[in-house]
Amino acid sequence: MSILVFGKTGQLARELALQGEVTCLGRDQADLSDPAACAAVLLQLRPTAVINAAAYTAVDKAEEDEALARVVNGDTPGALARACAALDIPFVHVSTDYVFDGSGDAPWRESDPVAPLNAYGRSKLAGEEAVRAAGGRYAILRTSWVVSAHGNNFIKTMLRLGAERDRLTIVADQIGAPTPARDIARTCLQVARQLAEDPSKAGIYHYAGAPQTSWAGFAREIFARSDLACEVEDIPSAAYPTPAPRPLNSRLDCALLETVFGIARPDWRQGLDAILKDLEIAT
């Protein structure tokens, strides 16, 4: 397959590039703030599948810049999905647990009502709606807490702070699961290939790591596996206010993806070991 990836420097795009078999487009080739131009590039290159791995991901900044977030995360995915539908090729779009309001403690299913708490979540929901409206061979993959050896993420922040301090206060009432970008990349490729063979598999799916944990629990695991003697104190979200409210319940029910595509949830602890090894090599 000739797979075109929108995105080049983000965590997911970099992992997709490492998988091979893809062509990644950076901002200089496809500016996601220009939906029509992105669709034109897609139609010109005429790939056999497309993965949208680029997004406006600055959650707090989006509170002040919702218009741009809405274009990048909403309008452009819609334009790409319509172009893919016109070519009758698979379009895989990555979304987020932030489309939910984070209430309760049950894992969210694909059919549950959406009600984003912040501007970022609203922009990602707009993208989902636009992709669905375009029809075609689409798959929307909602995921959570993306981590890798690339860019800025929770693992790298904890490694830095854990080496500098003896004790950290970490939010413990937000529950979800880290998801290694490498596993998301492999899943996107599998989904694209299967959609090419069977368009009836189009729809929304959830994909996140296992088992469930809190940010505090995740931090403890990072320190334990990297031999950092940093103590973690649990705190509530109210003690660490942010411009954009975060959902307390980010649990995702991933059974449908396994049933339809045969793709099981990854163990994020194994992914964490791989990331720590990658970071050792990088240093």
What amino acid positions are annotated as catalytic residues?
Answer: 120
User: What is the Cα–Cα distance from 209 to 183, expressed in whole angstroms?
Assistant: 9
SS3 60: coil
Joined together, the tokens standing for residue 208 give 């996140």
How far is C-alpha 72 from the geometric centre of its chain's CA atoms? 15
At position 175, the amino acid (one-letter code) is I
User: What is the Cα–Cα distance from 210 to 11, expressed in whole angstroms?
Assistant: 19
Name residues whose C-beta falls within 8 Å of residue 15's C-beta, 6 or more positions apart in sequence: 148, 150, 181, 182, 184, 185
How far is C-alpha 162 from the geometric centre of its chain's CA atoms? 25
CB-based contact 42:50 (threshold 8 Å): yes
The count of other CB atoms within 10 Å of the CB of residue 132 is 17
User: What is the Cα–Cα distance from 32 to 69, expressed in whole angstroms?
Assistant: 10
Beta pairing, strands 175-176 & 213-214: antiparallel
Cis peptide before 211 (omega within 30 of 0): yes
CB-based contact 139:90 (threshold 8 Å): yes
User: What is the Cα–Cα distance from 217 to 171, expressed in whole angstroms?
Assistant: 9
CB-based contact 117:101 (threshold 8 Å): yes
SS3 171: strand
